[in-house]
Structure 1
Amino acid sequence: MSYRALYRVWRSQRFEDLVGQEHVTKTLKNALKEKHLSHAYLFNGPRGTGKTSAARILAKAVNCVHGPAPEPCNECEACKRITEGAMMDVVEIDAASNRGVEEIRELRDKVKYAPTEVRYKVYIIDEVHMLTTEAFNALLKTLEEPPAHVIFILATTEPHKLPPTIISRCQRFSFRRISFELIVAHMKVICESMGVSYDDTALYAVARAADGGMRDALSLLDQALAFAENRLDEQAVLAVTGAVSKEIMLRMLQAVVDGSVSEALKALDEAVTGGMEPEKLIQDLIQAVRDVMLFKTAPQLDVVKSSLGYSDLLPRLGQQLSIDRLTQMLDLLLHYQQQMKWVAHPRVVLEMAMLRLSDTGRQEQKAVASAPLAQLEERIRELEQALRTLQTVPPAPVERATPAPAAHPKPAAAAKSQPRLTALTEQWVTLLSSEKLKEIKRAWPEVLYRVKEEKIMVHAWLVDGEVVGATKDTVVLAFRSKIHCETVENKHKDLIQQVMAQVFGTPMRLKTIMMPEWQEFVARHGKQRETQPNESAESGGEDDIIKKAIDLFGERLVKVIDQN
């Protein structure tokens, strides 16, 4: 007996043998069980996913001597003859070569005759989208109201090319691409039944090249088995598919990430010299970047687990590359892949893509390195502005309890020496809410975090403030440093209010005040005493005032006056 291709030998003969199409087989089996048969079916989906096999199984199921049954027996004479393609009442038509109106008219004339051998006449029209417009029009009436003994099964890979009038007359079943793990599992069953030894990496390479089509996978497996001598390994698969080892692709990518463009171009030259086409190389490079991105975002996927067996480069690249960098690399490679279709020298385009990939990495490093410098420059500008503000207003003398350097100033005297930036009127006594204050304090760390994300320098000024009071639409922020209070009030108030509106979900106003003024207000009205700082905090605040004054003007210019 002559040799038969694997995909023919292992063609599904029962619904349960169809791999990865449970949503189709379950519906058809239930319909056969309940005898709810339609007169026309449309099977659409990618190539090699089981459309024609499902059509033949359906033809056997409706004509089996034990049927119509959910599964054909494959033992009766009708099932055997349909499997062999010798049944006159089951007609397979290739619409690609019989696409004219005359062929469809001939079919229409034969439909009215009853079947001679089995229960139903079944017409399987493959690649039905290839029919001409006139042929579709000739088929319309017959497809809508065929004789009771006729079933039409249309199969196509491009359902969008069918007229809506045809689609509306059929029960439509969409076949899906078969998953990576199901293809690998099915090939393992085939290899074990044939007594073939294999490496898992070889089956992974076949499944990746098949791109969801079982027929493609079995054809590549058949070819690789013919090429391999004793054991099916990855090198045999790469030789018949014309692909590059995933290890080589990851090393090339590692060279780009490390900035060694010469090494990457050398590896590229070796691959092209070895017979690889640039179009296939950039496709494999895209797959390598995709594997790194999936490893970083979804390491639990089976397709990612299968790639981990190649080397330790995948985890290393996952640690080195950020998600933003990976998406930039994919965008760049996909762009140049499109450009290759329109140029006479695709290798030049691939080399340009390698250089651009390395260049994006250097730009990212420069951006990261320049970020702290930009923050420092912004900080210097802020401090210069604050210094100019202090030079225009003479500093108030800082009072202390005794001339001794270690003595602490009196809170009341310190409060008198601080100017009031924002007055609190008497109506604030009734407006302040302790419940609202608790709510604001709970959410204030989120405000600080978002301000830091927006502009880190604003966060540096704002962090000196303490939330001491709140109304339904206002937050009172007390500062111990006049510079911080003035800078927040005059320069950064709008940004902080925008962030507060995002965090609290409603517009909120910011009211800045010096801490001594707030302490005086609380002492006068006896409200929200729980917001007052303790004595150690107050003394620490006075020490901070002296320290900051010395830091700004120097120890020789600061004079401590005792008024006791």
Structure 2
Amino acid sequence: MSYQALYRVWRPQRFQDIAGQKAITQTLRNALAQEKTSHAYLFTGPRGTGKTSAAKIFAKAINCPNLKDGEPCNECETCHSITQGQLNDVIEIDAASNNGVEEIRDIRDKAKYAPTSADYKVYIIDEVHMLTTGAFNALLKTLEEPPKNVVFILATTEPHKIPLTIISRTQRFDFKRISVRDSCERMAYILNQEKITYQEEALTVIARAAEGGMRDALSILDQAISYGDDSVTAENAMSVTGSLTQELVLDYFDAIIQHKTEKGLSLLQSILAEGKDASRFVEDLILFSRDLLVYQQAPQMTDLLEGANVDEGFKTLSQTITAQQLYEVIGILNDTQQEMRFTNHAEVYLEVATVKLTQLTVAKVADRLAVEESGTNGNSQVGQQKITDMEKELLQMRKQLQELAKNGGAPQPTKKAPKAISKPGNNQFKTNTTIIYKVLSEATKDNLAQLVDIWPDLLNMLSVTQRAIMKASTPVAASPNGLIVSFEYDILCQKATNDQELLEAVSEDLRRLVGYSLQMICVPAEQWPVIREQFLKQNKELIKKRPAEKVTTPSVHKNETQVVSNYEQENLASLESVLPEPEEDETIVTEAMELFGEAVVEVRND
């Protein structure tokens, strides 16, 4: 007979052989022993966790005449026939290839007939989520009122795709991922039965690579046996799975702690040159970081470690690296893992992550120490600078309030001059008035209203980083080709203007939402009223000089009448309705001072 894979030879034949699912197997055994079985079951969970095996064992147990403690005897003719797949009363169906209404109707019609040689007719429908809506509807009535002596067992890896009406008519059992310990125990049992030598560390490496699937673990074990010539060593297991030795991981973490970027990149290149899997490399680093955290917090609970060996190097590292550094390491590695899923150049992201781990951590630790120092020493440079900046802002605000009070709340033209965009300060954002005026000359109220309505949807379509930049933004004017967005903070306005990827994302998302692309122009909120007012004044002068369609309408300012075109007048009206006149803000301040007084009160929280 030809060679069979381990997962086929050692497929569980009793409930106690199923690894890592004790709660489920115990429940099924008790139900069988007490003859309290249901007519329909739903087995869900990741691949290779024992769903189909449990279904076949249940089919044997419910039909076995020598049932003992809920376990089949595996010796009678019925058990042998079911194990070999030759019993006509146990029907296993692959829903992926038999997902139509006609196939389910055929099952429903045949289920009415009594079993031929067994006590129960058992239908095992694997990957049941692949059934069509019509097929589910055809199965629904049969599950609700099944014929006597008929049991349905549905198995799936995606239970969220199954209608709730089906789930509510079944007993659901959720199979969990098999732990590393349970996988190692099962593999050790199989290797002992096969009389194959092995190392405990090798089984741990294989179990971690299997990610909770027993079938995957046995497949990897098969490869390790072939690679090592009927022996399983840790080195062979790491070669087959692409995992790292603990010595390499310790060297890599040593480069992180000592902030040696060159050493970290050199280690990374040597690891990848040996053929190690990039995804497995990141996974090993994350699990090792987790083991370090667990050992730091509970050194006596070594049984919780996923695979790290508590040797001298591990103990020394756990005493050297801080928990905060481990949080940063896990965060960067997790982000890298997500980015690597969508690229063909995983090594680039690993190099970037290595640089971050060896350099950015230094900056974060330095910032944290500076903050702590400023909290304990009021004369420190960082803390003193913050206090000085806050005092300057308070003095400036007081002067502005006093000047407003002296002038009765009326704005001073000379004080608006510094806000003009033609002469910005060193720290003020410089806007491109040429592009803004071009958009304003074509802006309409309808374009702006449309964008204001879909603005929340646009923000939700952006990435987290892009959404953070755009959160404090508001569309203030729009034309068929351009969009002006006001930002509350100059620094965010500067970032958005310089972020070409963000500008392209906004343009593309707007195309999806409104059907056409727009160029986004960013402007600080404090500069926008000045820009708008200047444009209205300049536009009014230009309109007077241009020949236009004879339509007499009220002008921008009251008590004036001028001749403008319909299109130009609509643009002016829409622009005037976008924001209130700047004087309105000053009026609000004046009224507030009349109500509450001119004194500046400082509120301190105890």
Q: Which range, TM-score by smaller chain?
A: 0.5 to 0.7
| CA–CA separation in structure 1 for the residues paired with 2:372 and 2:146 | 77
**Distance in structure 2 (CA, Å) of the matches to 1:294 and 1:67:** 45
Query: Which residue of structure 2 aligns with residue 401 of structure 1?
Result: none
Give the superposition deviation at 1:24.
1.0
Report if aligned partners of 1:62, 1:68 keep a CA contact under 8 Å in 2: no
Corresponding residue SS for 2:93: strand
The one-letter amino acid paired with 2:26 is K
Cα deviation 1:87-121 (Å, max 9, x = unaligned): 11100011111112221111112111111111110
Q: Which moved more, 1:18-27 or 1:119-128?
A: 18-27
Q: Quote the Cα distance in structure 1 between the aligned partners of 2:372 and 2:47.
A: 54
Residue aligned with 1:118, SS? coil
Q: Distance in 2 between matches of 1:17 and 1:376?
A: 61
Tell whether the 8 Å contact from 1:289 to 1:330 is kept in structure 2 after alignment: yes
- Contact 1:32 / 1:68 at 8 angstroms: preserved in 2? no
Alignment deviations for residues 526-558 of structure 1 (CA, whole Å, 9 cap, x no partner): xxxxxxxxxxxxxxxxxxxxxxxxxxxxxxxxx
**Contact persistence 1:224–1:237 (CA under 8 A):** yes
Partner of 1:316: 316
- Equivalenced residue count is 388
- Deviations along 1:263-282, one digit per CA (max 9) or x if unpaired, are 11111111222223433322
Give, in whole Å, the separation in 2 of the partners of 1:325 and 1:9.
46
Match of 1:212 in 2: 212
Flag the 1:187–1:256 CA change in 2: closer, same or farther, 3 A. Answer: same
Larger radius of gyration: 1
Code of the residue aligned with 2:341 in structure 1: it is K
Alignment-derived partner of residue 233 in structure 1: 233
Q: Which residue of 2 aligns with 1:199?
A: 199
**Is the Cα contact below 8 Å between 2:374 and 2:380 reproduced in 1?**
no
Partner of 2:351: 351
Aligned to 2:22: 22
1:304 aligned to 2:317? Answer: no
Query: Could you say which residue in structure 1 is the equivalent of 2:80?
Result: 80
1:135 aligns with 2:129: no
1:89 matched residue in structure 2: 89
Q: 1:34 to 1:352 in 2, by over 3 A?
A: same
Contact 2:252 2:264 survives alignment (8 Å): yes
Change (3 A) 1:297 1:161: farther
Name the aligned partner's letter for residue 171 of structure 1. Q
Q: Is the 8 A contact 2:15 2:54 kept in 1?
A: yes
CA distance in 1, matches of 2:38, 2:150: 10
**Letter in structure 1 aligned against 2:8:** R
Q: Which residue of 2 aligns with 1:6?
A: 6
Matched, 1:360 2:360: yes
SS at match of 1:336: helix
- The separation in 2 between residues aligned to 1:179 and 1:221, in whole angstroms, is 16
Using the TM superposition, give the Cα deviation of residue 229 of structure 1 relative to its aligned residue in structure 2, in angstroms. Answer: 2.4
CA distance in 2, matches of 1:298, 1:380: 37
Q: Counterpart of 1:242?
A: 242
Q: Structure 2: how far apart are the matches of 1:79 and 1:339?
A: 50
In 2, Cα distance between the equivalents of 1:305 and 1:20?
16
Asked if the contact 2:243–2:277 (Cα under 8 Å) also holds between the matched residues in 1, the reply is no
SS in 2 for 1:287: helix
- Give me the TM-score of the superposition, normalised by structure 1: 0.65
Q: Give the match's secondary structure for 1:342.
A: coil
Relative to the length of structure 2, the TM-score reads 0.60
Contact 1:251 1:313 in 2 (8 A): no
Q: Distance in 1 between matches of 2:220 and 2:372?
A: 54
SS at match of 2:378: helix
**2:305 aligned partner, one-letter code:** V
Q: Tell me the SS of whatever aligns to 1:220.
A: helix
Tell me how far 1:351 sits from its aligned partner. Answer: 0.7
Q: Equivalences for 1:501-520 in 2 at 5 Å?
A: none
CA distance in 1, matches of 2:380, 2:184: 61
State how 1:150-549 maps to structure 2 within 5 Å: 150-229=150-229, 231-299=231-299, 300-304=301-305, 306-308=307-309, 311-367=311-367, 370=370, 374=374, 377-378=377-378, 498=606
Deviations 1:441-462 (A, max 9, x none): xxxxxxxxxxxxxxxxxxxxxx
| Distance across 2 between alignment mates of 1:16 and 1:379 | 69
